[in-house]
Chains A and B, each alone.
Chain A
Amino acid sequence: MANDPIYLDHAATTPVRDEVFDAMKPFYGPRFGNPSSTHRWGREARAALDEARERVGRCLGARPDEICFTSGGTEADNLAILGAWRALKAKGRKAVLTTPIEHKAVLGAVHQAAHEGAEERFVTMTAQGTAEIASFDQLLDDDVAVCSMMWVNNEIGTIQPVPELAAKAKAHGALFHTDAVQAFGKIPIDAQEQQFDFLTISGHKFGAPKGIGALFIRRGVHLEPLMHGGSQDRGRRPGTENVAAAVGLARAAELTVAECDAHCARLAQLRDRLEAGILAKVPDAVIHGRGAPRAPHVTNISVPGTDSESLLMALDLRGIAASGGSACQSGSIEPSHVLSALGVRPDLASAAVRMSLGSLTTDSAIDRVIEIFPALVAKARQLAATE
């Protein structure tokens, strides 16, 4: 339909897929058991949970015992970074190495580690949004407890060379975590080939519900749990497991991996057309990270002389859902720490609009955005000029 709203915020969240919803339903009905119970209800739930763990593991090239279900990406990031730091600080490793463009879940966990005595080290970024390898090499020494390097950036889509960085960390005896929340389903992940120790995924970014995620924890790697209680998940994550959501995560992960190549090719083609269409009408638009390897689903555009707050409001009122930097708790838009770290001028950073594509993105939606976005930009610039 010509006036259907257009959802271009798949990096924020995605709808739960029908197949996933169907897979979860029995666990909100007859199969309601507690997986720790020994009776038949418990056994049924336990079987489903174990199977989900196996299936998620297969999607990552991991063994079932290497999968720890969490409440989502934030918990998994915290568990990896703080859990590893707390386990290693007694062994004389005092530093935590990361980038300034991480998700707030990673930055917050790193700050907490610093509060507990860690030395924070931030890798220098190129203007295009990738880590300076020389800077990484320089900061990585035998003091580092844990490195956390996001695989695909959530705001600009740039890809970090995680396999290469993970191998370097390993050589220095440091643990390596990657936030793969935006990478899963976009980049081939294989824990057998790649040397990361921890990897975070979040269900609601690929068709599972909110409130479920997983942390890959390489076999033999010890971390301190964040919570204390029962013996669920080997004590790494106590609390009765969310069986339905774990089953949903497994189903969504399998579908996502199976569709990865076709989906990525489709999104890359749509994204390229969107960017070309906007640049044709707004030649001075800046597309952040365009010179770096990028995942196919994110484009982040700043038009000089506009501000993202007004533009996002105007887009929404025309039925187009996009996003700005990162929303604060109140919902107001704050300047992006990612763009600041790339050295983007403040006026351009405050004009940034992120559009992220996914299953709901159609050809005709892209056509309409190519029509509407430049028109709104022209209007905003005209207003700015008359001030």
Chain B
Amino acid sequence: MARERVLVAMSGGVDSSVAAAMLVEQGYDVVGATMKLFCHGEDVPDRPCCSLDSVNDARRVCEQLGIPHYVLNLETRFGHDVVDNFVEEYARGRTPIPCVRCNTFTKFRDFLKKADAIDARWIATGHYARVVEGELYRGIDQNKDQTYFLWGIDRSVLSRMILPVGVLDKAQTRARAHAMGLEVIAEKPESQEICFVPDGDYARILEQRLPSDAPALAPGPIVTSKGAVIGEHNGFARYTIGQRRGVPGGFATPMYVIAIRPEQRAVVIGTREELLGNGLIAREVNWLVERPRVGQRVSVRVRHRAPLAPAEIVRMDGDEMEIALDEPVSAITPGQSVVLYDAERVIGGGFIESARQKRTSLPVLAA
């Protein structure tokens, strides 16, 4: 019987390298590919163009595994689907989460088409998550779990996905890399930043791409929730909900950014209590199981690595939904994702449109 072919997205990092190696061990016909997603050109002198080091690492790993490796240029589509959206979201006073859109549009749509082109039945990545019988589950390593970024993919893709390292924890992944002789990448540091923001300075990307008179980067008032103006900021796009840096001091309690009002260019600050939300409205909702019903009990995550919070779906309306939280949660941020879980299983998710301060569901069982 012919071995089934799998196209592995390889970043040159330890997770996707081990993923590819595991698939080779499991007997698949493995093809590696590195996506070229952006090019800084000569803007960033210390970094080679086109993530060259990553490509070279991935190529060396493939050579060692005895599998073919290709570089796929998805720069135009990534620029449109991910980078442009990133800039637009900040311009609207939101805090975008580009990795979600990259997974949804780039890895599990555009990359999938490349798999079709080479008759690959499967695609694989180095994500810490698991696919079990066509459903998505959190990775075994609770600290590394990446399902927060995967809720947006088309449900039908799940039947073609293999996520080999989802059953490992990070230490096991590194140990596997050593055991398989992948010394080139075994101890590579974790990449924490957004891949197309080279030094973590996202505001620089905004400055490069937004017009110089963009309101998002222009001075505006810092106000309290009562409306008192207590200072000036140099562009609301430089702020995110929950942030303390750049917030004036001199208050009795620490103050945080609690809202951004782009129409007034205002950054609103408030206390820790004012940062709490009891619910949220999400849009562009996507389901990875049968569409749930209103009233369904779920656990939700409103930010990467935030604790899971018990909640209930209180309204569903086209691709919009409203979630009521049992207990208030801090820093619910427009532009971030809300991901819904049933124990370990991902039900679906959406992009947070707004936080709700007051409980909107009836406390049905409270009485």
Contact = CB atoms under 8 A, between A and B. Distances in A.
Interface in A282-336: 309-311, 313-314, 316-317, 328-334
Nearest to A330: B50
B116 interface: yes
A339 to B, nearest CB: 16
A225 B154 CA distance: 60
A331 B117 contact: no
Interface of B: prevailing SS: mixed
What class of interface size applies to chain A in its complex with B? 10 to 19
Nearest to A382: B116
Given A317-B31, A383-B113, A330 B71 contact: yes
B118 interface: yes
A329 B73 contact: no
B117 A313 contact: yes
Interface stretch (B13-21, B51-59, B217-225, B350-358): B51-59
Interface string B98-124: 000000000000000110111100000
A380 interface: yes
B116 A383 contact: yes
B72 A383 contact: no
Contact of A331 (B55, B114, B116, B118): B55
Nearest to A327: B71
What class of interface size applies to chain B in its complex with A? 20 to 34
Contacts of A330: 34, 36, 49-52, 55, 71
Contacts of B51: 330
Contacts, number: 56
Nearest to B114: A310
Contacts of A316: 68, 70
Contacts of B48: 329
B105 to A, nearest CB: 14
Interface string A149-187: 000000000000000000000000000000000000000
B114 A332 contact: no
Contacts of A314: 117-119
Contact of A380 (B55, B70, B117): B117
A333 B73 contact: yes
Contacts of A331: 55, 59, 70-71
Interface in B52-87: 52, 55, 59, 68, 70-73
Contact of A313 (B36, B52, B70): B70
A329 B36 CA distance: 11
A294 to B, nearest CB: 28
Contact of B50 (A311, A332, A383): A332
Nearest to B33: A313
B91 to A, nearest CB: 29
Interface string A319-358: 0000000001111111000000000000000000000000
B103 to A, nearest CB: 20
A188 B310 CA distance: 81
Contact of B114 (A313, A329, A333, A379): A313
A379 B33 CA distance: 20
Contacts of A328: 49-50
Nearest to B5: A317
18 contacts: A309-B72, A309-B73, A310-B114, A310-B118, A311-B117, A313-B117, A314-B117, A317-B31, A317-B118, A328-B49, A329-B49, A329-B50, A329-B52, A330-B49, A330-B50, A330-B55, A332-B71, A333-B71
